[in-house]
Structure 1
Amino acid sequence: MTKPHPQIDRTTTTTAAIGKKHQSRTISPFSCYSPQLSLLILATCVTLFILCQIQILHVPPISSPSPSPLRSFISHQWQTVTNCTQDNLNSMAERLRHSVTFLPLKDLRYTDKAVQGHTWFMSSMYDSHEEGEVQYQQFPSKSSDDRLLCLKGRDTHDGSWNYYALAWPETLPVNATLMKGLTFVSYNHYNYDNIWHGLSAVVPFVAWHRKNGCESPTRWILYHWGELRLRMGSWLTTLMEATFNGEPVIEGFDGGDEDGVYCFEKAVVMRHNEGGMSREKRMEAYDLMRCKARMHCNMSPERRDANNIGMTLFMRTGPRSFKNESIVTGIFRKECGKVDGCKLMVAYSNNLTFCEQVKLMSMTDILVSPHGAQLTNMFLMDRNSSVMEFFPKGWLKLAGVGQYVYHWIASWSGMRHQGAWRDPDGEKCSFPKYDRRCMSIYKSGRIGYNETYFAEWARNVLNEVKAMKELEKASQSASSYECACG
């Protein structure tokens, strides 16, 4: 007898299978566990606990007269950590103050290369230099890691005994004096008494001043071969007074310890004179000084009337003077007299005040003068004025590049250097023709004359200036200008 098959409940089977499948896809609440999550939860709890305890420490007790043991323990540990951190900071600051390294201003390793970039002054430092602009160092700055410049020593005889260092404002050297305001630090391989050498050292400061919103110095520090200098020549002092609207204060570090350290809130250092400046930037600096000098001397900065031509014989006495001034004066007076509106003026550089020289140059279109420092005044003339220069015998072959400085300043200040006459005659030298020892004889020689050459030369320059004046008058290009700055 065949047994009947058991009745299969397909509905139940299917439902159970689906339920089992669904159960297999359900995510357990512990399936996301990981060591990283545990650490995160633990760190969060610890942080919240510490914050709560810190908050408790800052809230005075309400009812309990004495803190709980846990609170006392946490307070003690927190105070210990705070005191330890502050002690470490103070210790580090003190070590930084004592570890400031001072280096000699004059690096004797570069003695034979001193003129080549003045590398022996603050030799470890590099300059900031944009194309056409001045080369300078500024403190504090990014290049100095925001450190200040500090100077130690005030020796006026040996620059290797004067030192410099950099220090952060919070960790100045022990017993250092902080000097507020802007300090100009000038290095000059020559000197500050000769008006040409002095001017070439200060021109870059004028350019920096002009570019930086006319910011003026609180003080100047002057160095020559790393040796401290305590004064500028009177001509240069007055020019700087006019340019920066106040008499320059020359720092001598008086009244302090001989080995005292002086740090500067802000310092700008120049050690390349006008090196690296473009002609355009130089002319801007000379324009500013010319304008400021005229205003200082109560003169209008505007250009003169284009109807007149001023010809000035700027004479010297002694070395490089004319042997026969009356004949030379007569030659130029005769040629000037042939040109309508020409006026000849004769002056001596050694008996004029600064403002008298400014006034004379403002009336001069043609400057006639022997080679010498007095020619530096040419930048005080209007732009496009002319310069005629004279040399004694021997300078062309023996004087080196220094004989061309007034060609340079003429170009830099926007003037026209109309050439130079070199006397072929003079005292004889017992050494061979081009022996440099002859320069000691020729250097201070006096200058003769060539009447034919001088007359023709003066005539050509006068005609050129006259034509230029007439062109200016026709085009009304002789307009006024202001002392541009910033």
Structure 2
Amino acid sequence: MAKASSESRTTIPTSYGKYPRRIPSFMFLHSPKLFVYLLAMITILFILQAPPSTSWDFMHQWEKPFFTTKSTPQVLQHYNCSQELKSMVSKLQEAVTFLPLKDLRYSSKALQGHTWFMSSMFDTHEKGEVQYQEFPSKASKGRLLCLKGRDTHDGSWNLYALAWPQALPPNATLKKGLTFISYNHYNYDNIWHGLSSMVPFIAWHIKNRCSNSPTRWFLYHWGELRTTMGPWLSSLMQATFGERLNIENFQKTEGENQTSPTCFAKSVVMRHNEGGMSRERRLQVYDLLRCKARIFCNVTTISEVNETGVPIIGMTLFMRTGPRSFKNESAVIGIFQKACRKVEGCRLGVAYANNLSFCEQVKLMSLTDVLVSPHGAQLTNMFLMDRNSSVMEFFPKGWLKLAGIGQYVYHWIASWSGMNHCGAWRDPGGERCPFAEDDRRCMSVYKNARIGHNESYFYEWGRNVLRDVKLRKGQGVLKKSGSSGSGSGSCGC
């Protein structure tokens, strides 16, 4: 019997017939094709049994064998992220879009809605508070306000935009501190119109617990840059915030691009004057202004009674020269002197608004319980009197029919500042208009006309107002509050 072979024997059919043929047990190790097939099957089974993963994870797994050193993956990854971040910041910088400060599409309704100044922006408005815009804020999505241009004749050439702090527009200058930006549809020289544009900043200041004062101011009129305000208004703001106003004009240092944008670390924009404010908030604003002005001008406490113990009543005739002045000043003064003599404790004073400094006006108003004056900006001083003081106003002919709602502004400020507006006298006589009396063209004749007088009416009116003031002072309703004006050395702020 033949010796058994250690190799297995397998008989396979062939085309040549059935012949015995020896095949190794691990033949697949010598067959590349079969090896690849088996490896592919094992891989597929592994994938099917593995937990689900994202394509990013799968690709990330295949990246690993190519980064075998300890530092190479981190260095390359940091480099890629840094380059991508720089690219994104650059794109954001270039994407900052500047729009005209004055949107001419709204020129026919510049004071309606959210105004033609920064027309794409909406104000923040809480009930009873001032309307304002603050940057950065939740409303601005954390973006800063940037301005560009310093044109003083056409506001559509001055521009604004919003930008993220990390992606300011190219060549931008960042201004630190708090910036107040004011829009005024009228002007900053007339003390009434100027004060109306400042009041909302005081309200915002109070709302924020007087925590900080503005580092700088930017003033706009119809989007046109203004670099000054009237001395009376400037002094009042200095008294309120405790330092001289820094009104900027976008002047650059030597070497800086004159047309490059300026961005603000923190800014507040006002464009609606007192619009939306409650009477309580307005009273707080005027109390603060009165108090700060008296401290600034060192107005000291005065005696409330004369030597016989009778309450002192100060009546001041605050006169104008030129437009809307009295035709016969001496006669008007004589009438009110006569009325004053009939009321014990009354002291009459006569002053002209155009030749008094700011502090002289503050002191004069602190001595005044009854203010007698023609319609005009000088009446704005009324809020510097003590609360519950009285105002008597005089108009030329024609104003009632033709002047519009603006003729009531001193009724409003009397209410807002806690004063008593005791009515207005309107001259029935005066210059004749060549047109019908209700023709709008007549206002050009009546606007700055001089005012006549009615002796019996003025006398009785004056006496009645003085008697009412004496009664209220006797009851302690009217009380001189010295330098604070609000009863608090800190002015309540």
Shared fold per TM-score greater than 0.5: yes
Partner of 2:173: 177
Identical aligned residues as a percent: 66
Contiguous gaps of at least 5 residues in structure 1: 1-33, 54-68
Instruction: Provide the rounded CA distance (Å) in 1 between the counterparts of 2:247 and 2:96.
Output: 26
Partner of 1:93: 89
Instruction: Provide the rounded CA distance (Å) in 2 between the counterparts of 1:272 and 1:365.
Output: 31
Partner of 2:192: 196
* Alpha-carbon distance change, 112 to 392 in structure 1, aligned in 2, over 3 angstroms: same
1:135-174 equivalences under 5 Å are 135-174=131-170
1:84-483 equivalences under 5 Å are 84-117=80-113, 119-214=115-210, 215-255=212-252, 256-300=256-300, 305=304, 307-472=311-476, 480-483=487-490
* Alpha-carbon distance change, 396 to 70 in structure 1, aligned in 2, over 3 angstroms: closer
Question: Contact 1:136–1:269 (CA<8 Å) still a contact in 2?
Answer: yes
Question: Contact 1:154–1:258 (CA<8 Å) still a contact in 2?
Answer: no
Letter in 1 for 2:153: H
Instruction: Provide the rounded CA distance (Å) in 1 between the counterparts of 2:374 and 2:199.
Output: 24
Q: Deviations over 1:307-360 (max 9, x none)?
A: 210000000000100011111001100111111111000000000000000000
Q: Deviations over 1:252-310 (max 9, x none)?
A: 0112533120000000000000000011101100100000000000114x686262100
Q: TM-score, normalised by structure 2?
A: 0.83
Contiguous gaps of at least 5 residues in structure 2: 1-45, 306-310
Letter in 2 for 1:484: C
Instruction: Provide the rounded CA distance (Å) in 1 between the counterparts of 2:470 and 2:214.
Output: 42
Question: Contact 1:194–1:373 (CA<8 Å) still a contact in 2?
Answer: yes
* Alpha-carbon distance change, 308 to 42 in structure 1, aligned in 2, over 3 angstroms: closer
Question: Contact 2:178–2:216 (CA<8 Å) still a contact in 1?
Answer: yes
Pairwise CA distance, 1:481: 3.4
- Number of residue-to-residue matches in the alignment: 435
Partner of 1:60: none
* Alpha-carbon distance change, 135 to 310 in structure 1, aligned in 2, over 3 angstroms: same
Instruction: Provide the rounded CA distance (Å) in 1 between the counterparts of 2:440 and 2:326.
Output: 24
* Alpha-carbon distance change, 477 to 79 in structure 1, aligned in 2, over 3 angstroms: closer
* Alpha-carbon distance change, 311 to 77 in structure 1, aligned in 2, over 3 angstroms: same
Letter in 1 for 2:462: A
Instruction: Provide the rounded CA distance (Å) in 1 between the counterparts of 2:139 and 2:93.
Output: 20
* Alpha-carbon distance change, 304 to 217 in structure 1, aligned in 2, over 3 angstroms: farther
Letter in 2 for 1:39: P
Question: Contact 1:106–1:122 (CA<8 Å) still a contact in 2?
Answer: yes
Instruction: Provide the rounded CA distance (Å) in 1 between the counterparts of 2:266 and 2:144.
Output: 7
Letter in 1 for 2:262: Y
Letter in 2 for 1:284: Q
Question: Contact 2:339–2:459 (CA<8 Å) still a contact in 1?
Answer: yes
Question: Contact 2:389–2:478 (CA<8 Å) still a contact in 1?
Answer: no
Instruction: Provide the rounded CA distance (Å) in 1 between the counterparts of 2:54 and 2:433.
Output: 98
Letter in 2 for 1:231: T
Instruction: Provide the rounded CA distance (Å) in 2 between the counterparts of 1:476 and 1:309.
Output: 11
Letter in 2 for 1:289: L
Pairwise CA distance, 1:474: 11
Pairwise CA distance, 1:123: 0.6
Instruction: Determine helix, strand or coil for the equivalent of 1:447.
Output: coil
Aligned pair partner of 1:39 in 51, 58, 69: 51
Pairwise CA distance, 1:482: 3.6
Instruction: Provide the rounded CA distance (Å) in 2 between the counterparts of 1:268 and 1:289.
Output: 20
Instruction: Provide the rounded CA distance (Å) in 1 between the counterparts of 2:282 and 2:48.
Output: 67
Instruction: Determine helix, strand or coil for the equivalent of 1:472.
Output: coil
Question: Contact 2:98–2:161 (CA<8 Å) still a contact in 1?
Answer: yes
Instruction: Provide the rounded CA distance (Å) in 2 between the counterparts of 1:474 and 1:82.
Output: 73
Question: Contact 2:304–2:480 (CA<8 Å) still a contact in 1?
Answer: no
Letter in 2 for 1:224: H
Question: Contact 1:117–1:272 (CA<8 Å) still a contact in 2?
Answer: no
Instruction: Provide the rounded CA distance (Å) in 1 between the counterparts of 2:477 and 2:117.
Output: 50
Instruction: Provide the rounded CA distance (Å) in 2 between the counterparts of 1:225 and 1:268.
Output: 18
Instruction: Provide the rounded CA distance (Å) in 2 between the counterparts of 1:104 and 1:253.
Output: 17
Letter in 1 for 2:178: L
Letter in 1 for 2:279: R
Question: Contact 2:315–2:369 (CA<8 Å) still a contact in 1?
Answer: yes
Pairwise CA distance, 1:485: 4.2
Question: Contact 2:387–2:478 (CA<8 Å) still a contact in 1?
Answer: no
Instruction: Provide the rounded CA distance (Å) in 1 between the counterparts of 2:391 and 2:479.
Output: 24
Higher mean Cα deviation, 468-477 or 84-93? 468-477
Instruction: Provide the rounded CA distance (Å) in 2 between the counterparts of 1:406 and 1:474.
Output: 20
Instruction: Provide the rounded CA distance (Å) in 1 between the counterparts of 2:312 and 2:134.
Output: 46
* Alpha-carbon distance change, 147 to 36 in structure 1, aligned in 2, over 3 angstroms: farther
Pairwise CA distance, 1:74: 5.5
1:81 equivalent to 2:73? Answer no
